[in-house]
Amino acid sequence: MTATRSIRRSPRYRKVLVLHGPNLNLLGTREPETYGHTTLADIDTALAERAAKAGMSLETFQSNHEGALVDRIHAARAEGVEFIIINPAAFTHTSVALRDALAGVAIPFVEVHLSNVHRRESFRHHSYFSDVAVGVVCGLGWQGYLLALDYVLGQEQPPPESSGS
C-alpha cells in the first residue's frame, strides 16, 4: 500500500507592485464611456483586499510623470518586489524608458489596459511592453487588474525536491 501525502504549494510571488500610468488618477470621471465609472481608489482597494486574503504584500503607485515611474521600477528591485502589474496608459505607445527600466530590473510583469486598445485609434495599437511582458490583459475594464492579480496568485512554487527516498 502506498501512502499519499498532500503537498501544499505556496504562491511563488509574495510581493507585488501595481503601477498606474498617466491620467489614471482621473478614472471615474475621465471618459466614462471608455474607462467606466470605477475610480483608481476603488481598483486599488479591490486589489489590496484580494492580495491580503492570499497573504500577499501589494503596493500601488500612480504617476503622471515618466521619470517617477522609472524611479519606482528601479526601487522595486532593491525592495524585493517579485512581480509587477503595470498599466502604462499613454506611455504604452511612447516610452522606451519604461520598457528599458522593466528590462533592467528583470522583474516579470503583466501589462494591463482598461480599454481594448486595438479597437481604438491606430496610434494606440502598438505597445512597447507587450513583447517583453509575461502577458497582457486588455479591454476588460477595471476587472483586468483583478485578472492580472489572479494570474500572479496562481503561480505556485514548485514542491521541494525529495531527497532520494
Residues classed as catalytic: 35, 113
The answer to whether 93 is a known ligand-binding residue is: yes
Query: DSSP strand E in the chain: where?
Result: 15-20, 57-62, 83-87, 109-113, 135-138
109 phi and psi, to 5 degrees?
A: -150, 155
d(CA 138, CA 58) in angstroms, rounded, equals 21
The answer to whether 124 is a known ligand-binding residue is: yes
Reduced to 3 states (helix: H, G, I; strand: E, B; else coil), residue 20 is strand
The answer to whether 69 is a known ligand-binding residue is: no
The answer to whether 30 is a known ligand-binding residue is: no
Q: Cell 517583453 maps to which residue?
A: 132
The answer to whether 150 is a known ligand-binding residue is: no
Take residue 22 and report the three cell numbers written for it.
498617466
Q: Cell 475594464 maps to which residue?
A: 141
* 51 close to 85: Cβ distance less than 8 angstroms: no
The answer to whether 99 is a known ligand-binding residue is: no
Residue ranges for the known binding site are 87, 93, 100, 114-115, 124
Residue ranges for the known binding site for substrate are 87, 93, 100, 114-115, 124
